[in-house]
Amino acid sequence: MGKAARCAGLDAFFKPRGCAVIGASRDPQKAGHQILRNILDAGFTGGVYPVNPNESEIAGVRCHRSLDEVDGIVELVVISTPSHLVDGVIADLSRRMERVGDVRAVITAAAGFGETGTAEGRNRQDALVGCCRRWGIRQMGPNCVGIIDNVNRLDTTFIMGTRRKPGGISFVSQSGALGAWLVESWSSQPEPAALGKFISLGNMADVEMIEVIEYLGQDADTRVIGLYVEGHPQARSLVEVAGRVARRKPVVVLKVGRTEQGSAAAHSHTGSLAGSDRVYDGAFRQYGILRAGTVEEFSDMLQTFNSAGLPDGNRVFLVTQAGGPGIYCADTLSSFREVEFARIAASTKEALVKALPPFASVCRPEGHADITAAATIEQHCFAVEAVMRDPGVDAVILVTVPTLYLPPPALASALVETLRRLKAEGIEKPFLPVLLSGDWVKEGRMTLERNGVLTFETPDRAARAMAALIRYNNILGRDERGRGSGPVEVRAL
Amino acid sequence: MGKAARCAGLDAFFKPRGCAVIGASRDPQKAGHQILRNILDAGFTGGVYPVNPNESEIAGVRCHRSLDEVDGIVELVVISTPSHLVDGVIADLSRRMERVGDVRAVITAAAGFGETGTAEGRNRQDALVGCCRRWGIRQMGPNCVGIIDNVNRLDTTFIMGTRRKPGGISFVSQSGALGAWLVESWSSQPEPAALGKFISLGNMADVEMIEVIEYLGQDADTRVIGLYVEGHPQARSLVEVAGRVARRKPVVVLKVGRTEQGSAAAHSHTGSLAGSDRVYDGAFRQYGILRAGTVEEFSDMLQTFNSAGLPDGNRVFLVTQAGGPGIYCADTLSSFREVEFARIAASTKEALVKALPPFASVCRPEGHADITAAATIEQHCFAVEAVMRDPGVDAVILVTVPTLYLPPPALASALVETLRRLKAEGIEKPFLPVLLSGDWVKEGRMTLERNGVLTFETPDRAARAMAALIRYNNILGRDERGRGSGPVEVRAL
C-alpha cells in the first residue's frame, strides 16, 4: 500500500460515521465504562454502540450483545475487553465484516498483547492485526489509551473528565501514561490547552508513528505536532518524514532515553532500542525538528506555536512591572544565542520615560524596561503598545505581578483591547505575557487566553517559548532581516 | 553593636506584643488596607492598631489619629503612608518614643526612598533610618512587601488571600515582586508550602540580608533557608555566613544576574553590582550553599528539605507505574552524578516479581521497577514497602498516573498507611511520590501532604529534589557509607 493510501486510511479514526465499544461496562472503574462516557461527553455526532452480552443498557445507551448485531453503521471499533477474550472479538468482527463490511478502524485499548514479551501475547496481537489486515481495517494499539479529536468531537480514551478546547495542537505519544498525564495536565490549566488531536500509539502493531506524522502534516486542523518518542525501529525514516513536515508546520519532540539508565528503561518498556541519544539529537537539529528538554517546555512550545504567529526577526523586548521576575526572565532569554535584545528608537524611549512612573528604568539595559510596581493598567498597556509599534522590535514579553490596584481581569481586558487595536492597524507581533502569581491571576489569565493570547506560568517558560519561535524561524529561513536562513543554519542549531 | 545583639533585635519583627499600621486605609486597593487585613486574618494575638487621622474605624477595628495616641503596647510599626509624608511619620514615631518608648521594629512598605536614586528619596530614607537608629529601633525596608511569620501568626504584607500552613521554610527575598509571587504560588499549590517566615528585605537601609541569615540560622522554627539574591555589597561575608549556617541547616539560593543582560537589569533594579556570576557560583559551591537554577527547583528544594529527612546514602530506587514518565524520571535522576541507582537484594527482586502484575519489569535496569498500569493500590504499596525495607536502598521515588481503578485519594491513604507502618518499625527513608496528572490527583496529593508526605508536580522535579538531598548529604559529609565526606567534596561539588 502506498504512503498516501495508508495515510488516507487514518481518517476513519477521527471521522467515523459510527463507533462501537466492545467491552463497554457499567463499572465506573473500568476503562470500558469511561471510554463510552468520553465518547458521549465529547458530543460525538455519529452513532454510539456499546457492546456487552451481559447488559441491555449502559449510561442510557442501548447495549448490543455483539458487534455483528449492531444495526447502524460502525466505522470505528474500540476494543476494551481483556486480551484473553480476543478470539471472540476477532470472530465477532469477522462476522460483521462478512455480513456488513463497514468497519474501517480499530482501536485496541486492552493490554496483554505484544508488550508482554510472551509468545501468548504476541500470538494474540498477530491474530488481531491479521484479522484487521484481512479486512482492510487499520488498527491502533494494542495497549493504547485511544485517540481524541476535539475538532471532530471524538474521544475514545479512558482519561478522566478533561476540559476540552479544540485547537491546532496534535500530540502523538508512544507512552499511554505520559499521554494521559499531559492531556490531563493541559486540561487542568487555568484555560485548557488548544488540543486538536491526541493519538496514543501503544504497541504500534499496525498504525505507527511515521505515517501518523505524515497524516498530521497534511491535516488542515493541525498547526503544530508534538511527539513523545522512546525510540523507533526506523529512526532515520522517522526524522526524515518529521523533518519534511517541519518545513510546513513545527514538529516538537520530547524524546526520553537521554541517559544509559533511561535508555535501558525505554528498552524494557516499549522494546525500542533507543540507540544513541546523541545521534537522535543531531538528527533532530539537522532536520529542523525542535527538541524540548522537559514536559513544561514541550507543552509551552506546542501552545505557543499554536497561538502566536512567528516573529519577523529575533529582536525581543522585555517589559516588566516586577524587578526580580524580570531579571530572572532576562537571564533565561539571554541564555539563548538566537535571541537578540531589541534596541528601540530614541522617540520610543522618550515616550516611555514620559508616560511611565517616575522611577521606571527604560532601556537599562537595552531591550528591557522595568515599569515598576507603581505602574497602572494604563501604563502597562502604554508600554506594551509603544514597543509593539517600534520597528526595531520583533516580539514582546510582558512580566507582571499584579498588585492590589491592578485587578488581574481588568489588566487582562485592557491588554486584549490594546492588542486588538494594534491588530486593526496591522501590527501583529508575538506577545507572550506572564501574569504571576498562582490563583491570584487565574481569572486574568483566562481572560487573555479566551481572547487568543497565551499566558505563561513563569517568566523563564515564556523566555524559552520565545526562543523556540525564533529557532523555528531560523529553521524556515524566514528571518526577514536576512540572517540565519536555510539549511546551513539548521545544521548549526 | 555585636552580631548577636543585632540578631536579637530582629525578634521584634516576628514576635511583637502589639502592632500599629500607619497609613491604614478603607480602600481595598491600597496596601494600607490589605496589610491590616492580613494582620487580622493571620490571627495575630497581640494588639492591632490602625493609624489614620481621617478614619475612626477600619475593618471593624478602632482607628487612631496618630501612633502617639495608641494606648496599648506597640512593638512593631508598619508604615504604609506615601513617602512624601515621611516627616510626619517620623515626628509621630519620635513623640511616641519620647512618651512611651515601646517601639522596637519598623517595617516600611512604602516606596519612594533610596531605590529611586534621587537625592530626595535618599534623604527621606536617611531621615527615617536616622530616627529609628536614634531610638534603637530596627527598620526593615523601605520599599518592601513586609514579613510573614506563620508560626507566630503574623502577616504584615499586602499579598492577597494566601492560604497559610506554618512550617520550617524561611524565605528571604531581595525582590518584593519575586517574594510575593512565590508566596502566592506556594499558597496556590494543592496543599500550601510549609512556610514559616517570609522576609522581604526591600532597600536594606538597616536590616540587611546577612544578619537575617544569621538570625534564621539560630531560629528553632526554621529548618531550611531560601534566599533570593540579586547581589550584595559584602558578597564575601554573605557566602561565609550562609556557608556557616549551611553546616546546620540547608541554605538554598536563587541568584539572578547570571548573564550580562540579567546582571545589568539587576544593577538598575537594586543598584547591586552583581559581580561575576561565576565567582558567586564558585563561592556557593565552596561554602556548601545549594544553588537552584529555576524557581521550581528553588521551591522544591525548600519543601523537600523541610519535609523529608536526609538519606543515609545516595542509592535511589525508582518505582513507576507509568512507563514513559518513569523513563523521563530516570533520565533526570541519572543526569546527576551524585545519584546512584540502588541494587536491591535477590530476595527483594523475587518478592517483587511474585507480587507485581505479570508483566512488571523489575530491575531492568537496576534501581528501576515498572510495576505497569495494571498495578493495584496494594501492588503500589507492596513495591514501595519492599524497596524501602531493602538495606541497599537509601531513598525511593514513586511515579504513578493513577488509573480509573486507582482513585487517587485511596491510593494516597494506603501509601500513608504503609509509611506509617514502616516508621513504627524505625524505617524512615526519603520517599518522594509523584502523582500525575493535574486536577485528577489534586485530592490524593493533598491527602499525602496533610500527612507530611511532600508530593511533586512532575517526575523530573522529584528527581532534582532527590539529587539536592544527596548533594546536601555530601556537603555535611554525612554519607554513612563513607564516601564523599568533608570539605574536599564540597569544593568538588
* Nearest Cα residue in chain B from A339: B261
* Nearest Cα residue in chain B from A161: B440
Q: What is the pLDDT of residue B484?
A: 39
Name every chain A residue with its beta carbon within 8 A of the beta carbon of B331.
Answer: 256-259, 261-262
Q: What is the pLDDT of residue B7?
A: 57
Name every chain A residue with its beta carbon within 8 A of the beta carbon of B34.
Answer: 404
Judge: A335–B269 Cβ closer than 8 Å, yes or no: no
> Considering CB atoms only, which of B158, B296, B331 is closest to A404?
B158
Judge: A177–B257 Cβ closer than 8 Å, yes or no: no
Name every chain B residue with its beta carbon within 8 A of the beta carbon of A269.
Answer: 323-324, 326-327, 361, 370
Q: What is the pLDDT of residue A493?
A: 25
Classify B14 in phi/psi space as left (phi over 0), alpha (psi -120 to 50) or beta. Answer: alpha
Q: What is the pLDDT of residue B227?
A: 98
Which of A180-194, A397-411, B223-237, B271-285 is least confident? B271-285
Angle, vertex CA B320, rays to CA A175 and CA A206, nearest 5: 20
Chain B interface disruption, residue of A27, A143, A173, A178, most B CBs within 10 A: A178
> Considering CB atoms only, which of B176, B265, B405 is closest to A29?
B405
pLDDT band at residue B275, thresholds of 50, 70 and 90?
low
Over residues A48-61, mean pLDDT: 97
The three cell numbers of residue B7 are 540578631
| DSSP characters over B163-225 | PP---SEEEEES-HHHHHHHHHHHHHSSS---EEEEEE-TT-SSS-HHHHHHHHHH-TT-SEE
Helix (H) / strand (E) containing B5: helix B3-9
Q: What is the pLDDT of residue B161?
A: 80
Judge: A370–B158 Cβ closer than 8 Å, yes or no: no
Over residues A463-483, mean pLDDT: 82
> What SS3 class is residue B105?
strand
Task: Write the pLDDT tens digit of every residue in B290-302.
Answer: 999 999 999 999 9
Judge: A325–B268 Cβ closer than 8 Å, yes or no: no
The three cell numbers of residue B284 are 556557593
- Rounded to 10 deg, the angle between the A377-389 and A346-355 helix axes is 180
Mean pLDDT, chain B, rounded, equals 93
CB–CB of A222/A249 below 8 Å? yes
Q: What is the pLDDT of residue A7?
A: 56
Q: Can you tell me the distance from the alpha carbon of A82 to that of A310, in angstroms, rounded to the nearest whole number?
A: 47
The three cell numbers of residue A335 are 541564555
Q: How many inter-chain contacts (A to B, CB under 8 Å) are there?
A: 262
Q: Can you tell me the distance from the alpha carbon of B380 to that of B411, in angstroms, rounded to the nearest whole number?
A: 8
Judge: B268–A365 Cβ closer than 8 Å, yes or no: yes
Q: What is the pLDDT of residue B492?
A: 27
Judge: A330–B265 Cβ closer than 8 Å, yes or no: yes
Instruction: Give residues with Cβ within 8 angstroms of A11, minimum separation 6.
Output: none
Judge: B264–A228 Cβ closer than 8 Å, yes or no: no
* Nearest Cα residue in chain A from B183: A437
Question: Is residue A274 pLDDT above 70, yes or no?
Answer: no
Question: What one-character DSSP code corresponds to residue A164?
Answer: P
Chain B interface disruption, residue of A27, A228, A327, most B CBs within 10 A: A327
A431: β partners: A396
> In this prediction, what percent of chain B has a pLDDT beyond 90?
89
Burial of B482 (0-12, 13-18, 19+ CB in 10 A): exposed
pLDDT band at residue A9, thresholds of 50, 70 and 90?
confident
Q: How many helices (H) and strands (E) does chain B have?
A: 18, 20
Judge: A34–B404 Cβ closer than 8 Å, yes or no: yes
**Which candidate, B413, B417, B424, places its Cα nearest to that of B448?**
B413
CB–CB of B374/B402 below 8 Å? no
Judge: B325–A178 Cβ closer than 8 Å, yes or no: yes
Q: Can you tell me the distance from the alpha carbon of B217 to that of B225, in angstroms, rounded to the nearest whole number?
A: 8
> In this prediction, what percent of chain B has a pLDDT beyond 70?
94
> Considering CB atoms only, which of A178, A259, A327 is closest to B257?
A327
Question: Is residue A273 pLDDT above 80, yes or no?
Answer: no
CB–CB of B87/B22 below 8 Å? no
The three cell numbers of residue B182 are 512565590
Question: Is residue B487 pLDDT above 80, yes or no?
Answer: no
CB–CB of B326/B370 below 8 Å? yes
Judge: B324–A269 Cβ closer than 8 Å, yes or no: yes
Question: Is residue A370 pLDDT above 60, yes or no?
Answer: yes
**Which candidate, A398, A240, A230, A393, places its Cα nearest to that of A326?**
A398
Judge: B230–A180 Cβ closer than 8 Å, yes or no: no
Task: Please give, rounded to a whole number of angstroms, the shortest distance from the CA of A187 to a CA of chain B.
Answer: 8
* Nearest Cα residue in chain A from B461: A294
Residue type, A465: A
Question: Is residue A4 pLDDT above 60, yes or no?
Answer: no
Question: Is residue A478 pLDDT above 70, yes or no?
Answer: no
Task: Please give, rounded to a whole number of angstroms, the shortest distance from the CA of B254 to a CA of chain A.
Answer: 10
> Considering CB atoms only, which of B294, B321, B333 is closest to A460?
B294
pLDDT band at residue A490, thresholds of 50, 70 and 90?
very low
Mean pLDDT, chain A, rounded, equals 93
Judge: B181–A322 Cβ closer than 8 Å, yes or no: yes
Angle, vertex CA A162, rays to CA A158 and CA A168, nearest 5: 105
Task: Please give, rounded to a whole number of angstroms, the shortest distance from the CA of B257 to a CA of chain A.
Answer: 6
Name every chain A residue with its beta carbon within 8 A of the beta carbon of B358.
Answer: 116
Helix (H) / strand (E) containing A291: strand A290-291
Name every chain A residue with its beta carbon within 8 A of the beta carbon of B182.
Answer: 437
Give, rounded to a whole angstrom, the gap between the first and last alpha carbons of chain A: 36
**Which candidate, B209, A319, A410, A230, places its Cα nearest to that of A238?**
A230
pLDDT band at residue A489, thresholds of 50, 70 and 90?
very low
Judge: A334–B228 Cβ closer than 8 Å, yes or no: no
Question: Is residue B427 pLDDT above 80, yes or no?
Answer: yes
Over residues A441-445, mean pLDDT: 97
Provide ipTM, 2 decimals.
0.94
Task: Write the pLDDT tens digit of every residue in B163-189.
Answer: 999 999 999 999 999 999 999 999 999
Q: What is the pLDDT of residue A270?
A: 72
Q: What is the pLDDT of residue B451?
A: 97
Question: Is residue A261 pLDDT above 50, yes or no?
Answer: yes
Over residues B42-70, mean pLDDT: 97
**Which candidate, B197, B110, B202, B86, places its Cα nearest to that of B150?**
B197
Judge: B330–A460 Cβ closer than 8 Å, yes or no: no
**Which candidate, B117, B124, B77, places its Cα nearest to that of B101?**
B77
Q: Parallel, antiparallel, or unpaired for β A368-370 and A315-320?
A: parallel
Task: Write the pLDDT tens digit of every residue in A385-400.
Answer: 999 999 999 999 999 9
Q: What is the pLDDT of residue B334?
A: 95
Q: What is the pLDDT of residue A33?
A: 97
Over residues B86-114, mean pLDDT: 97
Q: What is the pLDDT of residue B490?
A: 32
CA B350 to chain centroid: 42
Cα Rg for chain A, rounded, in angstroms?
A: 25
Q: What is the pLDDT of residue B488?
A: 31
> What SS3 class is residue A58?
strand
Cα Rg for chain B, rounded, in angstroms?
A: 25
| DSSP characters over B298-317 | HHHHHHHHHHSPPPSSSEEE
B49: β partners: B20
Burial of A225 (0-12, 13-18, 19+ CB in 10 A): buried
Name every chain A residue with its beta carbon within 8 A of the beta carbon of B368.
Answer: 261, 264-265, 268
Over residues A261-272, mean pLDDT: 84
Question: Is residue A484 pLDDT above 70, yes or no?
Answer: no
pLDDT band at residue A267, thresholds of 50, 70 and 90?
confident
Task: Write the pLDDT tens digit of every residue in A112-171.
Answer: 999 988 999 999 999 999 999 999 999 999 999 999 999 999 999 999 988 999 999 999
Judge: B373–A268 Cβ closer than 8 Å, yes or no: no
Question: Is residue A491 pLDDT above 90, yes or no?
Answer: no
Judge: B187–A341 Cβ closer than 8 Å, yes or no: no
Chain B interface disruption, residue of A33, A269, A321, A435, most B CBs within 10 A: A269
Judge: B270–A323 Cβ closer than 8 Å, yes or no: yes
The three cell numbers of residue B438 are 493535574
Task: Name the residue with higher pLDDT: B490 or B346.
Answer: B346
Question: Is residue B1 pLDDT above 50, yes or no?
Answer: no
* Nearest Cα residue in chain A from B270: A323
pLDDT band at residue A275, thresholds of 50, 70 and 90?
low
Judge: A30–B180 Cβ closer than 8 Å, yes or no: no
Task: Please give, rounded to a whole number of angstroms, the shortest distance from the CA of A186 to a CA of chain B.
Answer: 8
> What SS3 class is residue A207?
coil
Chain B interface disruption, residue of A184, A328, A334, A466, most B CBs within 10 A: A328
How many residues in total does chain A contain?
Answer: 493
Chain A interface disruption, residue of B331, B335, B368, most A CBs within 10 A: B331
Q: What is the pLDDT of residue A487?
A: 37
Judge: B436–A326 Cβ closer than 8 Å, yes or no: no
